[in-house]
Structure 1
Amino acid sequence: MTGTPDPWWPTALLAVALFSDAILSVRPPVFIQQCLDGVRFPREWWWTLIVIKLLAAAGLVAGLRYAGVAVTANAAVIAYFVCAGYAHYRARFLKQEFWLNCLGMLALSIAVLFLSHASAI
């Protein structure tokens, strides 16, 4: 069975990043709007991304205490950003938002998985 993250701080950092992104997305700044419009994600569904990011952050935080939860949440976050990357690719929206936001968060998520859960994978 997988344990809790060791070290714990990369998982906490990812949780803070996702929580901040969710809060920022409540009133999305221009760069987030351009990103979502660029992949043609319908505006009436933008709220779902906030919910997903808040749940992911909560899962990561819960995983600091409960065995197996953080590695599962971390894997789900990676899947989320892989899907986001694919959406960018399909829409041919490969501008700065793709490289910095999407691939940056994917890289962070993968790094956290390997740093905090190396024994579990």
Structure 2
Amino acid sequence: MTLLPDPWWPVAVMAFIVGVDGLLTFWPPKVIADCLDGVGLPRDWWWVLAVVKFLAAAGLIAGFWIPGVGLAAIVGLIVYFLTAAGAHLRAGYIGRDFWLNCLGMLVLNVLVLVICFLV
């Protein structure tokens, strides 16, 4: 295991994706709004998701220079998407958004963890 990402570029790509996802939380396209409504997350709590995503992106970037921070951020993202998967299952909202977006991001984050920090 390493505390600094190697290779670094999958972590940079994930930081970009999560940062853009955070921005989209403020002006969500229909697919994101439908997903958040589908799991029953009240609209006045959507801003919390943006904060979590911005902090995760910042942690991934800081982890290029501060050992362990990127590792903590990627583990946090995995927990976030596991929690999101639980919310989807609890709400019975298991269509395309669940399989593609939620589980897709979970798999991508697990791959980044394994490739950049564990191998």
Q: CA deviation at 1:3?
A: 2.4
Cα-Cα RMSD: 1.1
- The letter of the residue matching 1:17 is I
- Structure 2 counterparts to residues 1-121 of structure 1, below 5 A: 2-119=2-119
Identity over the aligned pairs, expressed in percent? 50
Distance in 2 (alpha carbons) for counterparts of 1:105 and 1:75 = 13
Distance in 2 (alpha carbons) for counterparts of 1:19 and 1:101 = 15
Distance in 2 (alpha carbons) for counterparts of 1:77 and 1:111 = 12
Q: CA deviation at 1:2?
A: 4.1
Structure 1's consecutive aligned runs of 4 or more residues displaced over 3 angstroms after TM superposition are none
- CA deviation map 1:61-105 (0-9, x unaligned): 000111111111100000000000000000000011111110111
- 2:5/2:64 contact within 8 Å kept: yes
Long gaps (5+) in structure 2: none
- The letter of the residue matching 1:41 is L
Long gaps (5+) in structure 1: none
Distance in 1 (alpha carbons) for counterparts of 2:11 and 2:115 = 9
Task: Provide the TM-score with structure 2 as the length reference.
Answer: 0.96
